[in-house]
Amino acid sequence: MYVSTRGAAAKLTAAQAIAQGIAPDGGLFVPEAIPSIDGQFLTSLLPLTYQERATAILRLFLTDYTEVELTECVAGAYGGGKFSNTAVAPVAKVADGIFALELWHGPTSAFKDMALQLLPRLLVCALKKIGEQAEIVILVATSGDTGKAALEGFKDVEQTRVIVFYPEDGVSQIQRLQMVTQEGDNLRVIAVKGNFDDAQTGVKQIFSDNDYNAELAEHGFKLSSANSINWGRLVPQIVYYFSAYADLVKEKHITAGTFVNFVVPTGNFGNILAGYYAKLMGLPINKLICASNSNNVLTDFLTTGIYSRNRQFHKTYSPSMDILISSNLERLLYHITGGNSAQVSQWMTELNTTGQYKIADEYLTAIQAVFPAAWVSDEATSATIGQVHKEYGYPLDPHTAVAWQVAENYQRQSGDTTPAVIVSTASPFKFNETVLAALTDSNSLRDKTEFVVLQDLAQIIGIPVPLALAELEGKSVRHTAVCEKQDMPAVVKAQLRVK
């Protein structure tokens, strides 16, 4: 069963929690008990496909789904050629003891596909299981990658609509084009005048407004979320930590039982938290290293125990990590405090009212034992893209480059020689301007369209442009709406024709 991190909501089944998204008390759903695995379970994963591994992990959490339901959901998400690499999430050896877990072979070239190809299937299945008749309206606040991945995942999915809000000036050209050209009758895309946190705050306010939700319900609509606050978004991400480990053993890079570190470029804390669940389940993970850009709120928190959003927001080369409020940290706090929902609620109230909270030293020490943290500047990110390509011939996107640099700094400072898996979250083509400038010089961008930049990059790294990105050139813009952040509730109503 699933409980709210804030303790004031009823226990739900996985299907109910996935259909609901966020708990009615404002908290996030977490599993009441974490399943554990043993060495034999790990060994059993080695010969399996990614899809089979996914079913094996998901069934431990989604206990109210049947085996057939899970198998079908997984086959629809990861099979049928949707991922350009048959391994789905392959592990590349880049250097001695350094591996890249490539999570960007899906339809939108970023790791959000790993979860958002599966979530809609889990959700539709959940609606059937609980007999929900309402049309589900998925509200998404996106810093770029989630929006497109949600649109692709929910395109023409029965009984669902998606409204995506993205910060008008906070996404890359390619990210914007991917979203505004989106086809599908159940999908809307709207630019917000503000940054990602404004969009996310707006969406959260809509979710927690009871009167507003009651009004939508009268018209047959029910809101839900595709952001990583939804358990159905988080649980698919646990799978690739296991799959990566199984591949490392299978390819004889490590022996079974050897501990590894994962280095995760982090924004909303969803990806790295999935790694934490894998560790709690018994996967041999030593450290989960939290890598940030100059929006270094998590680095500060993990160093001092003070979470403070009262700081300047920076636009960086790694926009999917330009975040000041990392929602999923709430789940970590819940587990670290042994499920002390009163304490978690208090911190979240403080965050809402004063913009900050401080955790006790005992909790900080427990968190620090697992999560070393550091951040890198845009300049260092560019330099890393250049160096890693030169030294190893491996092209990094800016998010992955942040993680790479943090991994190097961590290894140097700590002397920790544990094998490191860099979690690679985007294709270099998705952030092609930053990557091309890093591999050549900033003049290389002058007067070039995004599509010429894509082709230039393909030439330099010797990899063809992903088809879905190349095809954007011929697509027409279908979504042009822009709104003020305070108008988001009205915009949602207008889209649903609710007066």
The helix/strand/coil state of 37 is coil
Rounded distance between C-alpha atoms, residue 393 and residue 391, angstroms = 6
Choose the catalytic residue: 112, 129, 204, 287. 112
Under rule CB under 6 A, residue 147 binds ligand PLP: no
**Contact assessment for residue 112 and residue 178, using Cβ atoms and an 8 Å cutoff:** no
By CB under 6 A, the residues from 191 to 230 that bind ligand PLP are 228
Under rule CB under 6 A, residue 295 binds ligand PLP: no
Rounded distance between C-alpha atoms, residue 271 and residue 244, angstroms = 14
The residue within the footprint of ligand PLP, chosen from 265, 275, 372, 395 (CB under 6 A), is 265
Under rule CB under 6 A, residue 439 binds ligand PLP: no
The region of 35-43, 200-208, 259-267, 414-422 touching ligand PLP under the rule CB under 6 A is 259-267
Residue among 171 and 496 whose Cβ is closer to ligand PLP: 171
Residue 77: beta bridge partners?
A: none
Least separation, in Å, of the C-beta of 194 and ligand PLP?
18
Residue among 254 and 333 whose Cβ is closer to ligand PLP: 333
What single DSSP character describes residue 110?
Answer: B
Least separation, in Å, of the C-beta of 72 and ligand PLP?
26
Residue among 270 and 372 whose Cβ is closer to ligand PLP: 270
The residue within the footprint of ligand PLP, chosen from 78, 269, 301, 375 (CB under 6 A), is 269
Residues 6+ apart with CB under 8 A from 345: 6, 7, 8, 25, 27
By CB under 6 A, the residues from 451 to 490 that bind ligand PLP are none
Least separation, in Å, of the C-beta of 320 and ligand PLP?
3
Residue 483: beta bridge partners?
A: 192
Least separation, in Å, of the C-beta of 237 and ligand PLP?
8
What single DSSP character describes residue 135?
Answer: E
- Binding residues for ligand PLP, total number by CB under 6 A: 17
By CB under 6 A, the residues from 93 to 112 that bind ligand PLP are 110-112
Least separation, in Å, of the C-beta of 159 and ligand PLP?
26
Under rule CB under 6 A, residue 271 binds ligand PLP: yes
CB-based burial of residue 379 (10 Å sphere; 0-12 exposed, 13-18 middle, 19+ buried)? exposed
Least separation, in Å, of the C-beta of 70 and ligand PLP?
23
**Contact assessment for residue 293 and residue 376, using Cβ atoms and an 8 Å cutoff:** yes
Under rule CB under 6 A, residue 425 binds ligand PLP: yes
CB-based burial of residue 257 (10 Å sphere; 0-12 exposed, 13-18 middle, 19+ buried)? exposed
Under rule CB under 6 A, residue 433 binds ligand PLP: no
Amino acid at 63: T
Counting every residue written for the chain, the total comes to: 499
* Six token digits for residue 234: 């988080």
If you write DSSP's letter for every residue of 274-341 in order, what string do you get?
Answer: HHHHHHHHT--EEEEEEEE-S--HHHHHHHHSEEE--S-----S-GGG--S--TTHHHHHHHHTTS-H
112 is known as an active-site residue: yes
Active site amino acids:
112
Residues that bind ligand PLP (CB under 6 A): 110-112, 145, 228, 265-271, 320-321, 399, 425-426
